[in-house]
Structure formats: C-alpha cells, structure tokens
Structure 1
Amino acid sequence: MDWAQFYATYAHTMRPPTTSELFYPGGHNFNGVGDPINNNPNLVPEEQKGLDIGVNLMGEGLLSATDKGHLKIGYFYNRIENYITYGYDANNDAKWINLAGETIMQGVEIEGGYDTGRLYANISLTIADTDQPLGLAAGFGNDVGTLPDDFGMLDVGARFLEEKLTVGGRVRYVGDSIQAYVNEEQSLERPAYTLFDLYGSYKVSKHFETFFTVENLFDKAYWTANTGTGDILSGITNGRGRTIMVGATTRF
C-alpha cells in the first residue's frame, strides 16, 4: 500500500547522570544558607525500554484534483528504571537520587495536515500519561516539577497573489502540570492554557521575503510549566504576553 506505512520500534536506551546531579551541590534559588542539594557521585544511569508503534497515512486528490493530505498516529510506551529525581536518601540527605521500581511514560501522538494549494491546515496532538513521582520537599529552592502530559496545536492559513502572500492563525494548547512543593500531595497544580497567534509572510522576490508574527494575540496571563514556587506563591504569572515581531529574510 503506497498510501499507508506501518512502523514499530523497540529500543533499550540509557541516560547517564548529569555533571550537576553527580557533583555540584546547591539549588536554583540557593541563597548561601545550607545546602539545598548535596552531590551524589553514587548515581547510576537511567535505563529505558521503549516501544513505539504507529501508522503514516498519505494521499493526493482526496477532495480535489490537486489537494494532498497526511496523517500520523503513534503510540509509545516507555519503562524507566533508576529514574533520577530530587529526594532524600537513607541518611536523610537531600540530593538527586535513583528511584526504586519503574517509572512509566505512555501516550498517543497524532499529527496531520491537509493542503489545497490555496488553503491549508495542520494539527498535532499529544495525549500522554506520565507516572513521574515528585520527591519530598522538591519544591523548596529547587523548582522541580512535571511537564504537561497533553499538548495540542491547530494551524490554518491561506495563500494569495499566486501564493506569494501567506496569512494564517495558530491555536496552541498546553495541558496542566504540577510544581513540587512540600511533597507530592501538597504540590501546586498549574492550570492548562490556550494561546492564539497570527502570522503572515510575503515573497517580494525569490531572494527576499518579509514576515510578521503576533504571539499570544489576546495577551493571556498564564504560568509556564516548571515555573517555580516563588512565582506561583507570589501570584505573578510568567508566561510571555502579546509579542509582535516583524522582519525580513534574504537569500543569495
């Protein structure tokens, strides 16, 4: 079938501890009083066994003689042993440690697009379930948290003037996340947020192109993932507000 491609990957991988996790004490908000994190030269690498399966679909002439589209659907399942996170060892010392047992990360990823030449649309979606534990007191001066499990993006646009002018809009969704605080039960939840963008470009010639983007069109206030307890407890949102960029590129 030239319109469908199936794939499957099974892999064993590893991630060695970083130099900071092994040797350097201190924390992101270290103020010189005590050691928020002790070094741990006994850390061992994380080991992962992962499965990735899915299908790629593609075709032309779907609704008209000149259109084309594609769709990718995939599922991943990863088991991680010796997961490295912030916590306390048997001597009650705060440091980066290896967790016992397995940490599971799994989910579905969808990516697709449709293009008629004049109009186009692209979509991407990740729906995951990550069993990432948070260490005791991980949020005191160390800004440890979890990334969102779910992401989504919808991009639609149109081309005019013999496809020299492109104008489009984009919707970005970021799911909720968790910022560590005293312990996992008392962690701080960060709500999901949705942002809207506009963009456009004009090809003046084959060597010169102008463009503009407007990110966070409605100037929404939000917290990014792994914000840190300081900003959260102060009530100060740190997401980028409305941002306008105008520029040009040239090629020789």
Structure 2
Amino acid sequence: MAAWRQTKTWLLAGAMAMCSTWATAAFTTADLQVSGDGLLTLDDASGLAWLDLTLTRGQSITQVRTSEWLAQGFRFATHAELDDLVSRAASNLDVIDEMGGWAAAPELSTYLGGPTTVLAGAVGGGGVDEAGQVPLVTLWLTRETVISPGGDVLTDYSPTTQMAISDPENLGTTPIAMSGPVGSPEDVWSALSPELREDLLAYQAQSGSSQSLGDFLRRRDALVALDASSPDFGVFLVRNVAAVPEPATWLMMGLGLVGLWGLRRRRI
C-alpha cells in the first residue's frame, strides 16, 4: 500500500508539473515539413503558429494568395496580431531570429550600437492604407539607442528632408516610416520600396557611433503594391496551432492512469 501511495504521489506531481510547463511556456518552435526544420514559431498566448518568413521572401501578397500556403490552413496575419506577438517577444529577442529575422548590414549594426536583426514582412490581414488598397510592409528592428558624434541621442532615423543628401531624385516620394517603442506605432509618412529603404539605412549608418544605451525594438511601416516583392521581406502568415492536449487534459490522463493502476493493484 505504501508503494502505491508513493507511486500515486509521483504521478500526480508529474501531471501537475506538465500542466505548469504548458501554462508558462511562451514561444516554442515546431517542425513544418521535416523533422528538425523549426519553420513554425508557436505562440502559446495567442494560439497562433507563425510561418518562418524565409519561406515567403521574394513573394508578393498576390502570389501568396494563390499559393499552397492558404490551402494548408495559413492566413494573412494582422497588424494587431503582429504587434501583440512582438510586444511580448521583446523580453525574448531570440523569437525574432526564429521567425526569419535577418542580420543587418555591418554599417547599420555599427550605427545602432551592435548586432541588429531585422524582421521584415508584408501584412496582408487588415494591414492596408486608409484607402484600403495597399498592404503595409512592417519592419521590426532589434535596435540600440546610440549617441551621435555630436553628443545627440539618436532614437530614430532622420526626417525626410535629409534624404536629399542621400537620394535627391526621390525626395518627396522616398518613404520613411517612424515608430515609437514597442506597441505604440506612429503614422506612416509615405511609401518605401526595399531599395530606397536600404539607401536610407545606409545613409543613416554613417552618422552614428557605437556607444550603446541599451536594446529595444522599433517598428517601421511602408506602403507597397499588392504585387510588390523583395528578397528582403516575406509575408506574415499564421494558422491556429494544431489541436494538442490542454494542461487539464494531461492532468486528467494522469489521474486516469493512477485510477487504473490502483484498480489493478486491488484485483491482484
């Protein structure tokens, strides 16, 4: 009987521990096509599985609409879903890498004070301009506040007027999108193509120093055409996490095993 009580205690403890593990987990990776590919990022809080952006880079919103991804249960993510995920991922920046973030150019990393990861993707689910016609490409930058050679604290890129130095022909149409800290994006200023975005970042990279004041994330938006694509950004796609046993289910399974084992012991 003592052995039975000890076994029951261990089973209950194991079931409760499993329940606790599921409840506290935030982000995990899962396989999509083959074992170990890690092409899905599971967000336990929202119940969404995010497709790795490397799989849709170079594809436009229009192309994705006719691709096999939607047939596999994926849909376009919304800005609200993306903002929610990134706001919680701010304490776990590895998530940005896991979702398909790419390392910025060395000069940009120097400007931002250290290694910089860019998570760039088109938002096709509700992420459109005021006219409801054009999706937004959102860039989440893992950034560091830096101090310029003149002693100014740089927390944003320069205003549009300074683009004349970098790209005078496109002044007025060249886009920059600014943003505040995580969760408080500001208005988009104008359209930004990937090529011009790189020009902007390369220009700004020359004006900063490597004195870091700490890590943070910032969001930058740009308007693009539905058929626009770039090797620098993909399309944010999500689907509901496949049905898995909930913590309470695991607990009930554990209790069921305890009961069956107890009945078997009594019969013996």
TM (norm. structure 1) is 0.22
Q: Report the structure, 1 or 2, having the larger helix content.
A: 2
- Bigger fraction of residues in strand: 1
> Which structure is higher in RCO with an 8 Å CA cutoff and minimum separation 6?
2
